[in-house]
Amino acid sequence: MKAIILAGGKATRLRPLSCNTTKSMVPVLNHPLLEHLIGYLRKHDVKDIILTLSYMSEQVMDYFGDGSQFGVKINYLLEDSPLGSAGAVKNAEEFLDSSFIVFNGDIFTDLDLTAMVNLHSDRKARMTIALTTVDDPTIYGVVEIDSQGRVKCFKEKPRREDVITNMVNAGVYVLEPEILDYIPYEVFFTFEHDVFPAAIEGGQAIYGYPFEDYWIDMGTPEKYLKLNHDVLCRYFNEGVEFENEGFLHPTTRIEGPVLIGVRCTVDKNCVIKGPVALGAGCQIAEGALLEGALLWRDCKIGKDTKLKNCVLASNCYVSDEAEILDNCVLGDNVMIGKGSKLPQGVRVWPDKTIEANSISL
């Protein structure tokens, strides 16, 4: 079975992290999100993958190549202009001659994909939609199913008063090729607004696959940080993982889960309270406190700094005695001056310099 991964969006909600890095290449535990997704598909014996790309596509193509290094075969489809989720799939029609999977490229899940495919086959469905429950369904596509699991109604981002269920579209589909007949060529078209309603009205056998496994839509910096925290807690529990050689001063106090990338150095009297992930080449100076922080590659953290539940993209420099607090997000190449204190929720765009007591961004 083939899988199409939709990875062409600009990820404006994820900025400043996505200013220089396309969303599918944003690191999760020091590896691109897309690498985790490809590994997940491979575990379910899906090794023929089509990637639809647009924004900064060369980053993905240079990293993954033909896919052989990752145990899969990858074909690329490039969009000159956005085609939407369904339009991008229509673009791949010539490669699709049997049941296939569509995966939104910004989700992370433990969904049992094999079981979902089996249900699709057993029900002789034309389309099967993975369904998960959320606290606030108004920001997703709400899906109502009957007692047999057949989809009765689909409503994209309903008003609060119109919500009839908290079961929503999880961005994973199993489709038959004839569903592509609902999609015109080279036209912006989405599954949510265009295909699902038309296929339901046309009497197609569309089923839902409810699941309770882990799922998150990595659409915002807050959800991105939560994803990394969740995965750290799941895979490392309270442990400390070193990806390769580095230096950790014996006076450093660490409470896991913590991931330390290659060539990282941590000086004396530092405190690291997980969940924390340090990207390759990070340097942490004497007396620094890191709690719930996520650092990309080659960040330099000065003496007696405090980083709490924040995200720093690559090549950031935080000078001595600075504080970066909850839900702050720094883009690439940001410099934070000595003694600066960034309050909660501040976002700093790439290449900015913040002087002490200044948050003029």
Q: Is 354 helix (H, G, I), strand (E, B) or coil?
A: strand
* pLDDT tens track for 171-196: 999 999 999 999 998 889 999 889 98
Q: Where in the chain is the domain with CATH 2.160.10.10?
A: 224-354
Across 321-333, average pLDDT: 95
Neighbouring-strand partners of residue 50: 4, 75
* Fold assignment, 224-354: UDP N-Acetylglucosamine Acyltransferase; domain 1 (2.160.10)
pLDDT for the residue 358? 53
List the structure tokens of 7.
């990875």
List the structure tokens of 72.
């899969």
% the chain with pLDDT above 70: 98
CA distance 127 to 89: 14
Kindly report the backbone phi and psi dihedral angles of residue 63, in degrees, each rounded to the nearest multiple of 5, phi listed first: -80, -45
The pTM score is 0.92
* pLDDT tens track for 2-29: 999 999 878 888 999 999 999 999 999 9
Q: Where in the chain is the domain with CATH 3.90.550.10?
A: 2-219
**How confident is residue 324, by pLDDT bands cut at 50, 70 and 90?**
very high
According to the CATH classification, is domain 2-219 in 3.30.70.260?
no
CA distance 57 to 55: 5
pLDDT for the residue 68? 96
* pLDDT tens track for 37-91: 999 999 999 999 999 998 889 999 999 999 999 999 999 999 888 888 999 999 9
Place of tokens 């993954």: 64
Q: How many CB atoms lie within 10 A of CB 72?
A: 18
Place of tokens 């660490």: 254
Mean of per-residue pLDDT scores for the chain:
92
